[in-house]
Structure 1
C-alpha cells in the first residue's frame, strides 16, 4: 500500500502493462500528468522545434556565405599573385574598413584578454581546460539562451501547476532528444560540416562538449518535472514501483544515469589525467545513453523516435566509413605481398619519437593534415591524433629505356607511400612508446600499426605573398609540411609566396634532430634562398651549440621568441597579403594571436591556429 499526499491510500498491482500507465488509476486525476503525452503540448513542441531548426539553418547560411566569400577572394588573389608575383602591393592593404575590426574584436578574439588555448591550471597535474573564443562563446550562449527560452514558453496563466509541469516535461524531453543529433554529429571525425565550412574538428569538439551539457540540463528538467507530478500524488515508493513495472522508465533511468556519469567523466581534470581510459569508458557510456533513449522512446511510441534513428545512423555510418578507410590504406590484399602497414619508431632526444608508417597503398594529404594513429602493441583500444610532418611517395618501378605508349605512362605513379610523424612523450601511450623504443637496439622499434586519415589540411596558404609560420616544440610537424609545399610552389610558379618565414621556438638544441633530415632536404630545394628564412629561438641554456653543424640558411637566436617583434619586422617589408599561422603550446599560440590582433588594422593579415585541445 502507498499513501498519497492527500492521505488517500492506493494499491499497486504486481503486474502492469505500459499502456495501462497512461490511464490514471489513482483517485486524484492529476496523476495522469506523470505519464505519456498527457499535458504535453505537442503542436507547440513541433512549432518550437521548427523555429530552432530554422534559426540554425540561418546561422549556417551566414557562416557558409562568409566562408564562400573568403574562399572566392583567396582564389582570386591566388591567381592574380601567382601569375604576376611582382605586383602584390594591392593585396597587402585592407580593402574593407570593417573587416580588420571584425577580426580583432570577434573572429580572432579570445573570450577574456589574451587567454584562449592556455590551460587553466591549479597545479601541474590538474587542469580545467581552455576558454572558448569570443565568437564561440556568442554562438554557445545564443544556443543555450534559445533552448532556455523554449523551455520557459509554458502556460503560465494556467492555475493548474501539474499541467504546466507536464508541459515542461514534454518540452525539455523533446529538446533533449533533438539536441542529441548535433551533439553526436559534432563528435564525429568525419562530420561533413568540417569540410563544408573548413572549420577544424577541434572547434566542433568544443561545440560537442557544450551541447552535451545543454542536453544534460534538459534531461534533468525532464526528470524533475516527472518526479514533481509523480510525488505530488504519491510517494517515493510509488515512483519506484512505476519505474520497476514500466520498461520505458527503466530504459530512461539507465540513459539518465549513463548521462550523469558522462558529465562527471568529461570534467577536464579527469579527462586529461586518464585520457585513454576516458575514451574507452566514454564510448561505453555513450552506447548506454543511445540504447536507453531509443527504448525509452520506443516503448511509449513517442514522435521523437525518428530522431533517434538519425543520430544512430550518423554514428553507425561513421564507424563503418572509418573501418573501411583504415582497412583500405593499411592492408594490401591477398595478392600484393605485404599485407599490413609496417611502423618504425625511433626514440629521439628531447623525449620524442619519430614514427614512420610504410603504407601499402599510395596516400596523399594536404599540408597541415593530421592522422589518427593505431598502435595495438602499445595502446590496444585507442587512436591518437598527430600532425603529418613528411610524406614520401614510392615510385613505381618501370623498365629502363621503355618509351611511353600513352598519356597515362607519363603520369607519376606510386605503389605505396611513407608518412612520418614526430610524437612528444607525455603520458599514457606516448610515454609508453618512447620508453619501449628507447630500450631497443639503435633506439628503434619495428612494429605494425595503422593510420586513419588524412583529416584537416583545408587551410591553403597558396594565395599569400608573405607567410609566417610559428611553431612551438613539436608543433614544427604541422608547419614543416607547409614550408616544403610553399617552397616548391614558389619555384614552380603555383604559389603566390614570395616570403616564407619559419619561426621555431625550442628549449634545447638537441630538439633540432627531430626534423634535421627534412630541413636538409628543404634547404637543398630549388630557389629556396629567394623565398625561405628559418629562425630558431632556443630558450634554454645550451652553450655547446655549434651553428656550423646546422644547414645553411638557419638562424639561431638565444632567448624566448617575441611574436610581436617578429611580426612587426615582417610587416615593414610585407609582400602581398600576409598569413600568420601557429601550432604549439597554448600559451605560445595565445602570444602569437595577441600579436596578430594588434596589427590586423595596419596591413592585410590573416590568422590560422592549429590545436588539439581534446
Structure 2
C-alpha cells in the first residue's frame, strides 16, 4: 500500500509492472511449466482410476455372462423337471459364505446417521471428499510452499498462489465433463450407473468453483498490495483478465447453486437453464481469459460430443454400441388420467428389463400453449416387463409408466388429458432409454420389495418379472413381500388394482405374496367407490368354483384369497422391524429391494447390511433423479 501511495498515477504502475515482468520472465516460464505438469498429473490420476474401474467392469461382464449361462441351464433343468411331473422345490442353502465383494459393499455403503457427516451418505462418499481435498490442496501447496523467487508486482507469493489455484481449477474441467450426462464415456467404460457417478461430478465441480474463487481473491489481493485500490478497479473494469474471471465465477455460481438439491428439486426447469448458461459462460471465459488454455477444451469437448451422440442413439436404438436396432424417435403414446396419476402406454420396439427406467419428453402439438414443456426430459420407472404385454404387427409392446401428477410437466400433462371427455389422449413423445437394471431375481427364494410413493413403479416391474418366471418354473422364488408407503389411499387405486392382479398370478404360480400398504395421511377404510375401482374386472382365483362367474363385490372383497394378500395400515412402515424379521425368517437366498425417498432407502440399507456377512442376502437400492 505504501508503494502504491507514492506512485504518481496508474500509468506509472503499469510501466512498473511491465518492467517487473521482463525481469521475472524466466521465473514465470519455470512456474508456468510446473503448473502445467501438475495439472497434467491430476489428469493421470483420474485416468488411472478410470482404467482400474474399467478392468473391474470387464471381469464383471465375464462373470455376468457365466451367471447368465448357469441360469439358462437351471431354466432348462426346471422345464425338464416340470415335464417329468415333479413339483418346484425351494432350494435350501447349507451354510453361507459372503463374497469379498459383498463384504466390501456392506462397509463402503453403510449409511452414516451422524449429523456431523454434513449430508454425506456413506463411507465411500467420505473417502472421495477426503481424497479430493488431499490431492487438490497437496497439488496447490507443492509449489507455493517452496516458492523463493522475486517479490515484485508481477511475481510474488500471492500471485503464485493465485496462478496455482487457477491451473488446478482448470484441471477439474476434463473430469467434470467426462462425468457429465447419463451416457458418459466413463459410464460406458466402467459400467457404473450415471446416478452414482453424479456424486463425483458434483464434487469436482465444487472444487473447480472453490479453486476459481481462491484464484480470484488472491489475484485481487496481489493487485491491491502492489497497486492499491486503483489497481483493483483497473483490473475489473478495464482489464480483460478481471472481466473474464468474474464472468467465469458467475457461471460457476449458476452451475453450483442451482444444482443444490433443494433448489434443483423445486425449480428443475430453472436449474436446466442456469446449468446451460453457466457452462457457456465458463467455456467462453476460459478462451478469452487465457487464450493458450483453449487447447485444454479439446478433450472435454470430445467427451461432451460422445455423450450427446450416445444420447441420440438412445432415442432411436437400444443396446448402445453393441447392437443397433432402429426405432422411430417420435412415438404416439396413449395416456389415461386415473385418480391423481397419469397411466402412459408407450409402444416400444425392443426389449427392456425389470427395474429399468426411461426419460420421457412430450412433443405433441396440443402443448403449443405451454411451449416450455417441449424442452423437458424427466426419468420415470417402467412399471411392467415385456412378458406382460402382447406385441403388435410391428413387433412393438406397450411399455407402461405410472406418473404421479405433481407440479411442472406432469401437472401440464394431466391438465391436457383432463380436457378429453373420455379421460384419455394420444400424445406424440420421445423415449430415451431404457437405462439401469436390477439384480437377477431367479436365484432368490425370498424377495422383499419396499417402495415409497412413486417408487412403486420400479417395484411393480420387478414383481411382474418374478411372478412370470415363477409361473414358468424357472425361478426359485417362493415368498414375496411388497411394502408400499403412500400419503392417501384414494390416489393409489389403479396401482392397488394392478397389485391385486399380481396376487392372482402369484396364487397360480404357487408363490406366497404379501402386500402391505402404509397410509401416512387420511387413513381410513376404503370408500365403496375406491373398492369398486380396485376390484373392477378382477377375476377371482381359478380354484374357487363358486366365484368364477362373479366379480368381487364391495362387501366381499376382503374375504377373497386374492384380497387377503393386501393389508392396509396407518403410518410409516417400521423398517427396523420389517427387514430383520424378513431376513431371519427366510430359508434360502434373500433379496431386499428399496425404491423411494433417500431416508427410507438409507434405513433399508442400514438394516440389511447387518446381515450380509452372516446371511445369504443381497441388497439393491434403486435411486435415480433428473
Aligned 8 A contact 1:252 1:292 in 2: yes
Aligned 8 A contact 1:581 1:608 in 2: yes
* Alpha carbons of structure 1 residues 200 and 114: separation in structure 2 relative to 1, 3 Å: farther
The separation in 2 between residues aligned to 1:248 and 1:461, in whole angstroms, is 58
Render the CA deviation track for 1:478-537: whole Å, top value 9, x for unaligned: 111112222333344555545443333334443443335644654555885323513122
The separation in 1 between residues aligned to 2:44 and 2:454, in whole angstroms, is 43
Residue 313 of structure 1, aligned match among 302, 308, 313: 302
Aligned 8 A contact 1:92 1:576 in 2: no
Aligned 8 A contact 2:517 2:569 in 1: yes
The separation in 2 between residues aligned to 1:589 and 1:319, in whole angstroms, is 31
The separation in 1 between residues aligned to 2:239 and 2:515, in whole angstroms, is 68
* Distance apart, 1:31 and its partner CA: 5.7
Aligned 8 A contact 1:78 1:496 in 2: no
Aligned length: 561
Residue 94 of structure 1, aligned match among 77, 92, 97: 97
- TM-score relative to the length of structure 1: 0.79
The separation in 2 between residues aligned to 1:428 and 1:613, in whole angstroms, is 15
Q: Report whether the alignment pairs 1:282 with 2:279.
A: no
Partner of 2:575: 563
The separation in 1 between residues aligned to 2:36 and 2:475, in whole angstroms, is 51
* Distance apart, 1:563 and its partner CA: 3.0
* Distance apart, 1:147 and its partner CA: 0.6
The separation in 2 between residues aligned to 1:174 and 1:94, in whole angstroms, is 49
Aligned 8 A contact 1:91 1:577 in 2: no
Q: Report whether the alignment pairs 1:542 with 2:524.
A: yes
* Alpha carbons of structure 1 residues 7 and 100: separation in structure 2 relative to 1, 3 Å: same
Aligned 8 A contact 1:344 1:445 in 2: yes
Render the CA deviation track for 1:199-237: whole Å, top value 9, x for unaligned: 332222222222111100111122223223333332444
Partner of 1:8: 7
- TM-score relative to the length of structure 2: 0.77
Give matches, 1:317-336, under 5 Å.
Answer: 317-323=306-312, 325-326=314-315
Q: Report whether the alignment pairs 1:466 with 2:459.
A: no
Q: Report whether the alignment pairs 1:582 with 2:594.
A: yes
Matched residue SS, 1:449: strand
Residue 186 of structure 1, aligned match among 169, 179, 183: 179
* Distance apart, 1:606 and its partner CA: 2.2
* Distance apart, 1:101 and its partner CA: 5.5
Residue 251 of structure 2, aligned match among 258, 271, 295: 258
Q: Report whether the alignment pairs 1:364 with 2:351.
A: yes
Q: Report whether the alignment pairs 1:353 with 2:342.
A: yes
Structure having greater relative contact order (Cα 8 Å, sep ≥ 6): 1
* Alpha carbons of structure 1 residues 488 and 289: separation in structure 2 relative to 1, 3 Å: same
* Distance apart, 1:76 and its partner CA: 5.7
Partner of 1:408: none
Residue 15 of structure 2, aligned match among 18, 25, 29: 25
Render the CA deviation track for 1:85-131: whole Å, top value 9, x for unaligned: 868545861345x6665444x33312335999xxx9xxxxxxxxx54
Aligned 8 A contact 2:10 2:231 in 1: no
* Distance apart, 1:27 and its partner CA: 6.1
Aligned 8 A contact 2:178 2:186 in 1: no
* Distance apart, 1:142 and its partner CA: 1.0
Aligned 8 A contact 1:33 1:229 in 2: no
Aligned 8 A contact 1:33 1:39 in 2: no
Partner of 1:504: 484
Q: Report whether the alignment pairs 1:135 with 2:124.
A: yes
Matched residue SS, 1:601: coil
Unaligned runs of 5+ in 1: 14-20, 121-129, 330-335, 398-413
Partner of 1:384: 378
The separation in 1 between residues aligned to 2:166 and 2:43, in whole angstroms, is 16
* Distance apart, 1:28 and its partner CA: 7.5
Render the CA deviation track for 1:388-432: whole Å, top value 9, x for unaligned: 1125566354xxxxxxxxxxxxxxxx4333222111223222233
After the TM superposition, which of the residue ranges 549-558 and 484-493 deviates more from structure 2? 549-558
The separation in 2 between residues aligned to 1:56 and 1:431, in whole angstroms, is 42
* Alpha carbons of structure 1 residues 315 and 80: separation in structure 2 relative to 1, 3 Å: closer
* Alpha carbons of structure 1 residues 461 and 339: separation in structure 2 relative to 1, 3 Å: closer
Residue 147 of structure 1, aligned match among 113, 118, 136: 136
Aligned 8 A contact 1:3 1:9 in 2: no
| More helix per residue | 2
The separation in 2 between residues aligned to 1:114 and 1:609, in whole angstroms, is 22
Aligned 8 A contact 2:516 2:568 in 1: yes
Render the CA deviation track for 1:437-482: whole Å, top value 9, x for unaligned: 3453233343322221111125444443433221122211011111
Q: Report whether the alignment pairs 1:211 with 2:204.
A: yes
